[in-house]
Structure formats: structure tokens, C-alpha cells
């Protein structure tokens, strides 16, 4: 099975890049299943509206994962239980939405888990390790062997620790949140694919992690209360990884990075 995971979709530019580029990647890479992180896909880069979710699904996503901005659009709570959308399961346990789910891909059960880290991130969730343990146990107990984990975290060490903790029990642990694609993709000894961060989808090269330079510079360099504004013009890119998984054992065979400039 070939799984495509797409890094954080940022604002309108990210949704446009996804619309124009995702199907081409899926066709070229012969993708069976696609997961997209959408927690920055709202117009202001915080959260995801119902329309944003529809745009991402129409672009070719099968499941959408979220992160620390999951509550950025209040309407998320209205559709969280109806769509194939996950939120970090260790963040706000009494709020609407799910932290993991099972789907069937051409007769093969597949599980997706969404977790948030606790180090240097706001708001911090409950223990990612305890939630991961419970979610993996539930899925494997139901006969699911192909399992993908999105760990939305700031600390690189926390992501790697979770991957090593789950090595051999899940197919892949992919990091999101920092918007910078790392070059450490590998398959760990137990058969779990890992990358510290998949990157972002949108205007990356000309922006500061998706935001325009001016507001970020004024706040951090000059100490002003400037607004961060998502950049809309520039070079649209899709950051992603393709993971080959043995459907019987659930072990990852390969993991490959993609950083693709999108042209209409």
C-alpha cells in the first residue's frame, strides 16, 4: 500500500496549491490513501472551517488531521463528528471529535492517529504516550496492522521519542507543526517509517512559515504588536511524504520526501 501524507496546509495559498497539485502527485506516485494536515488551512492560518475541510477533501484527501489550532474556527465542533477529520486525541478529551479512526482501503483496514506533543506548544495536551498506547492497542486489537500516526509537536526530540516508543507497532510516525521539512526520513529497526517534520503546503520560500515577513519582523525584531498575515503571493509548494507499507505485516518498506512546486 502506498500512503501519501501532506504537510500543514497554510491558508488560502495552501488550499490553492493542494487543489492544483495533489491529484497530479497521487496519480504519479500511484497513491492508495492520502492524509492531509489541515490545522492551518483557514484564511487566517488558524484552524479549519467547514468550507476549508470541503476544499481539502475535494482536492483529494481521504482523512484530515489537525493540531494545536484545532479550535481556531469555532464551527469545527459542529462537523468534527461527521467528517473524516481527526483532532489530537490527547487535547481536550471532553470536546467533540476523534483522535483516531479506522478506514478500509480496498479491503485492507487502516488506522490513522492524531496526537499533539506537550513541549513548547500551546495549549499542551495530556500525555501523548498514554494516548498513543491506548489508540494503538484499540486499533491492533481490532485487527488493524497498517497504522499512520501524525504527531503535531514543536520539539524534535519528542517526535523521535514517540516514533521509537511505537517502533514495530505502527507503520509510520510523521511529524507536523514546524512547517520546515526535515531530511531525516528513515525506516526504524522495527519497521516504522519516521520523519521529524513533513513541512508545509502553501507559500513557503517567500514567507516566514506561511506568514508575511513584515508583521513577523515588527513583532520579533521591533517588539511591536503587529498582526501576522498569511502570505498569498509567491511560489506555491506541496511538502509531503510517500510511504510504502506491507499490508500484511503493517511494516513500512520505504519512505520518500516530496517537495514540489505547483503549477496550474
Rounded CA separation 119/150 (Å): 16
Q: What is the pLDDT of residue 196?
A: 98
Q: Considering all CA atoms of the chain, what is the largest pairwise distance in Å, rounded to the nearest integer?
A: 56
| Domain residue ranges in the chain | 2-261
Phi, psi (rounded to 5 degrees) for 175 = -95, 145
Residue numbers annotated as active site? 69
Q: What is the pLDDT of residue 113?
A: 98
Q: What is the pLDDT of residue 264?
A: 72
pLDDT, tens digit (0-9, with 9 covering 90-100), for 48-103: 999 999 999 999 999 999 999 999 998 898 898 889 999 999 998 788 999 999 99
Cα torsion 160, 162, 168, 171: sign = negative
User: Is the overall model pTM greater than 0.85, yes or no?
Assistant: yes
Assign 3-class secondary structure to 95-147. CCCECEEEEEECCEEEEEEEEECCCCCCCCCCCHHHHHHHHHHHHHHCCCCEE
Query: Would the pLDDT of 34 be above 80?
Result: yes
pLDDT, tens digit (0-9, with 9 covering 90-100), for 46-62: 999 999 999 999 999 99
**Cβ contact 108:144 at 8 Å:** no
- Considering the four listed CATH numbers 3.40.50.300, 3.20.20.60, 3.90.650.10, 3.60.21.10, the one that applies to the domain covering 2-261 is 3.60.21.10
Rounded CA separation 56/19 (Å): 8
Amino acid at each position: 500500500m502506498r500512503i501519501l501524507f501532506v504537510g500543514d496546509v497554510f491558508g488560502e495559498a495552501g488550499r490553492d496549491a493542494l487543489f492544483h497539485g495533489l491529484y497530479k502527485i497521487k496519480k504519479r506516485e500511484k497513491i492508495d490513501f492520502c492524509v492531509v494536515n489541515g490545522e492551518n488551512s483557514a484564511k487566517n492560518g488558524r484552524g479549519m472551517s467547514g468550507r476549508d475541510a470541503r476544499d481539502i477533501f475535494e482536492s483529494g484527501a481521504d482523512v484530515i488531521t489537525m493540531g494545536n489550532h484545532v479550535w481556531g474556527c469555532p464551527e469545527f465542533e459542529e462537523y468534527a463528528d461527521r467528517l473524516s477529520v481527526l483532532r489530537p486525541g490527547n487535547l481536550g478529551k471532553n470536546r467533540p471529535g476523534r483522535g483516531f479512526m479506522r478506514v478500509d482501503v480496498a479491503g485492507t483496514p487502516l488506522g490513522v492517529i492524531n496526537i499533539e506533543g506537550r513541549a513548547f506548544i500551546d495549549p499542551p495536551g495530556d500525555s501523548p504516550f498514554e494516548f498513543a498506547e491506548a489508540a494503538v492497542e484499540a486499533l491492533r486489537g481490532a485487527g488493524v496492522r497498517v497504522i499512520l500516526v501524525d504527531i503535531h509537536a514543536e520539539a524534535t526530540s519528542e517526535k523521535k521519542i514517540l516514533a521509537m516508543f511505537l517502533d514495530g507497532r505502527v507503520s509510520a510516525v510523521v511529524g507536523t507543526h514546524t512547517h520546515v521539512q526535515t531530511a531525516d526520513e528513515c525506516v526504524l529497526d522495527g519497521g516504522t517509517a519516521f520523519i521529524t517534520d513533513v513541512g508545509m503546503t502553501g507559500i513557503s520560500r517567500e514567507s516566514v512559515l506561511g506568514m508575511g515577513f513584515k508583521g513577523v519582523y515588527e513583532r520579533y525584531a521591533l517588539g511591536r504588536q503587529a498582526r501576522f498575515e498569511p502570505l498569498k503571493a509567491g511560489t506555491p509548494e506541496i511538502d509531503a511524504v510517500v510511504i510504502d507499507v506491507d499490508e500484511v505485516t503493517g511494516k513500512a518498506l520505504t519512505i520518500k520526501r516530496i517537495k514540489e512546486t505547483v503549477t496550474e
